[in-house]
Structure 1
């Protein structure tokens, strides 16, 4: 299986396991900058040079050797499950992607037909009942994760613990897991622990939110999208994420973590 979703700087200063919807565009650009002193011109997910990525065949050997030998500082980044699934809905379901099309071709028409989801019209900009549509999307996400139908779960809404675990199961070990909600604090700890060819001033780094503007703006507070049934579905899908990464299940309005992540616990529970 190897190390899917793993990126590494060419200098091998740091290894990062991508978790979708968790600041991965910004992290990738910081890694690129730390090696080259310049940002990648475009979406870092499209970069095929200047950084090792598991998806690039020529990078798999160097990544495998580094990770199994635990030669470099390794980290990942997580996010509150409530805000992550909401972001996935507005970006991937309601939004027009950077290729000018809907995400995954006929997925959205299928969701509109089978689940009664609205997405704000052709361009995603018209008014619609965001709360009702999001709750229907949540049913769909649960169906994909629990029963793998009407399709396999998508990486943008499958549980973070699943992404994080592949790195551990195949022989890697994390030195740190940071929170999107304390991005600067966590990323600074990563940078303090490594040596990079080019210094990185975190305060001067822009945020590379590649999903910004893809879809409609969220018009309600986070907690308004989650009634008792929605919270039950979220617990069913993301129970392990809440527990391991110390997020507050009982209060969807509190996006901040409520405790420290125990790396030994993460490795023990996700390394099976």
Structure 2
């Protein structure tokens, strides 16, 4: 299996398991700056040098050696599942991607045809019934995760626990897992424990939201998108995420976690 989705600074000061839709663009840029004293010019996901990534063959040996020997600080970042699935919908389903096209080519037309989803378009100001379309998208996400139909689940809405587990099952161990809702405190703790080549001022740096401005703005509070059926589906597909990472499954309006993350419990439950 190896260590899919794992990034490491070239200095090997820190190792990060990417969890999509959980501030990964910002974290990648922080890692890059901590080694090179500048941010990467562009989307950090496109960077082919300056950062070790498991998807690059040349990086797999160094990442494997580091993680299995536990040489460096290993961390990841998680997010409230209610906010994360909404972000996936507005970015990947409704938004126009940075290449100027819809995400994954024929995915959106298939959702329109099979699930009756509307996504709007830039010419009309992305006007559509966001709540109705999101709830239909949630049915689709459930179908992909539970039944792998009409396709395998996409990384952007696959459960966070699945992403986090690969590093553990490969023989690695997390030193820190923090939440996006307390990003500055969590990332500051990581930087304080890692031997940085260059300091990173979190308060002064921009946030790298690569999807912002390319799709509709969310028109309603998070809790308005989730009726009883939607919350049942969330429990069905993300129950383990809520449990392991301390979020309130019964209150979509509660953004912050109810409690801290028990690293021993995460390793015990995701290591099998």
Q: TM-score normalised by the shorter chain: which range applies?
A: over 0.9
Structure 1 residue runs of 4 or more that deviate by more than 2 Å after TM superposition: 121-126
CA–CA separation in structure 2 for the residues paired with 1:212 and 1:108: 19
1:231-242 alignment, distance < 5 Å: 231-242=231-242
Aligned residue number for residue 59 of structure 1: 59
Unpaired runs of 5+ residues, structure 2, are: none
Q: What residue in structure 2 maps to residue 163 of structure 1?
A: 163
Q: What is the CA–CA distance in structure 2 between the aligned matches of 1:199 and 1:157, rounded to whole Å?
A: 33
Q: Normalising by structure 2, report the TM-score.
A: 0.99
Q: Which residue of 1 aligns with 2:181?
A: 181
SS at match of 1:174: coil
Match of 1:17 in 2: 17
Give per-residue Cα distances to partners, 1:2-31, cap 9 Å, x unaligned: 000000000000000000000000000000
CA distance in structure 1 between the partners assigned to 2:22 and 2:122 by the alignment: 27
CA distance in 2: counterparts of 1:104 and 1:46, whole angstroms:
17
Matches of residues 1-272 of structure 1 in structure 2 within 5 Å? 1-121=1-121, 125-272=125-272
Matches of 1:103 and 1:146, distance apart in 2: 22
Over the residues paired in the alignment, what is the CA RMSD in angstroms?
A: 0.8
Q: CA deviation at 1:121?
A: 2.9
The 2-side partners of 1:64 and 1:269 are apart by: 22
| CA contact 1:66–1:72 (8 Å) conserved in 2 | yes
Counterparts of 1:21 and 1:265 in 2: how far apart (Å)? 23
Counterparts of 1:64 and 1:78, CA distance in 2: 23
Please say if residues 145 and 152 of structure 1, whose CA atoms lie closer than 8 Å, have aligned partners that are also in contact: yes
Contact 1:75–1:177 under 8 Å retained in 2: yes
Contact conserved, 2:126 with 2:215, CA < 8 A, in 1?
no
3-state DSSP class of the match of 2:203?
Answer: helix
Contact 1:95 1:123 in 2 (8 A): no
Cα distance change, pair 126–143 in 1 and its aligned pair in 2 (3 A): same
State the alpha-carbon separation in 1 of the partners of residues 51 and 93 from structure 2. Answer: 30
Task: Provide the rounded CA distance (Å) in 2 between the counterparts of 1:207 and 1:124.
Answer: 28
* 1:109-162 deviation per Cα after TM superposition (whole angstroms, max 9, x unaligned): 000000000001365733110000000000000000000000000000000000
Aligned residue pairs total 272
Query: Structure 2: how far apart are the matches of 1:58 and 1:240?
Result: 34
User: Structure 1-normalised TM-score?
Assistant: 0.99
Measure how far apart 1:202 and its partner are.
Answer: 1.2
Matched-pair contact (CA < 8 Å) for 2:22–2:77: yes
